[in-house]
Amino acid sequence: MNLNSFCLGIQPVGKIDPIYLKTIAGSFLGGLGMKSLILPSLAHPEYAFDKRRVQYDAGIIINKLETMKFKGCNTVIALVDADLFIPVFSFVLGEAKMGGKCALISLYRLRKNPARAVKVAIHEFGHLMNLDHCHEKTCVMRFSKNIEQLDLISDIFCKYCLDTIKYMIKKN
């Protein structure tokens, strides 16, 4: 398989401004030459709401997404406008299982900035392709624990990470 035949699903969860969907889809086409498909919206994930933390558990949402079928899509990036957490962090901008099929992006803390959402989406896609965090200062795979750090990285992979992405897609 190559980048041209790989299809990424963009999955809105709840009400999502179409500008985010179109911007993320366009970034994968423009940056990687990869086609994407914007999928019909799923219901807001009330099932994952944690009353104690007043946030949504990203792991629960990803586990549910992983059980779903997304016809014609090799992997899926879901977007939700909700404050997400995982047990070891007070919040996350995105979450993915290494080598999984679905990643999750939270728009909640990105301050209505589609360019930030693109960085998080590309980063989480890297995890779906088994990439770990990168030490290159501007690589999109560099770990960002907050918005300030996210703003310092680019929206592209360094050469090493890009070569790994291409290899992983070809291997699929």
- Catalytic residue among 95, 124, 136, 148, which? 124
Provide the CA 134 distance to its chain's centre, in angstroms. Answer: 16
Active site (annotated) includes residue 95: no
Q: Which residues are catalytic?
A: 124
